[in-house]
Amino acid sequence: MSYTHFDAHQSEFRTVTDTIARPGAPAEDACELFCYNADLVARLKREVGDIAGAAALFRVLADETRCTILGALDRCEELCVCDLAHVTGLTLPTVSHHLRRLRELDLVHSRREGKMVFYRLADRRVPRLLAQLTQREGVPA
């Protein structure tokens, strides 16, 4: 199997079939050989690129309030912003801010009815993912 190696002295990549040792003491958490499998890396870059958007989702879900909102919406068909403010114990503007972030990722949908705004889940997979992540072996969330 051939690998691509970066030659720092010549500032270029070249294909190698044998090992090239890195100078200095070996690091416990790094390869002693700086090389990579070019075909494998190209394939992985294409495949991993498809899931790169998951980071944005996890940034939004890293907030406890947003997870609480999603959990409440998972248990009801829809809730108005006032209901969600009482569930979370937060002010209407704060809850609206969190709902806006959830709406930006298309996790919730809203509809206006007169002076009221109601929210519902756009995708039920996210609350189920949260439930799976919070479960411990043999202990329900």
Q: pLDDT tens digits, residue range 59-99? A: 888 999 999 999 999 999 999 999 999 999 999 999 999 99
Element (H, E) at 43: helix 38-49
Task: State residue 128's pLDDT score.
Answer: 81
Distance separating alpha carbons of residues 23 and 71, to the nearest angstrom: 53
Average pLDDT over residues 31-57: 79
Q: pLDDT tens digits, residue range 6-38? A: 555 555 665 554 445 555 656 677 777 677 788
Average pLDDT over residues 93-119: 95
Buried-state track 15-26, b at ≥16 Cβ within 10 A, e below 16: eeeeeeeeeeee
Question: For the chain, which residues make up each domain, given as ranges?
Answer: 3-49, 55-134
CATH architecture of 55-134: Orthogonal Bundle (1.10)
Task: State residue 114's pLDDT score.
Answer: 95
Whose CA is closest to 60, among 118, 104, 123, 111? 104
Looking up tokens 């009801």 gives: 76
pTM assigned to the model:
0.64
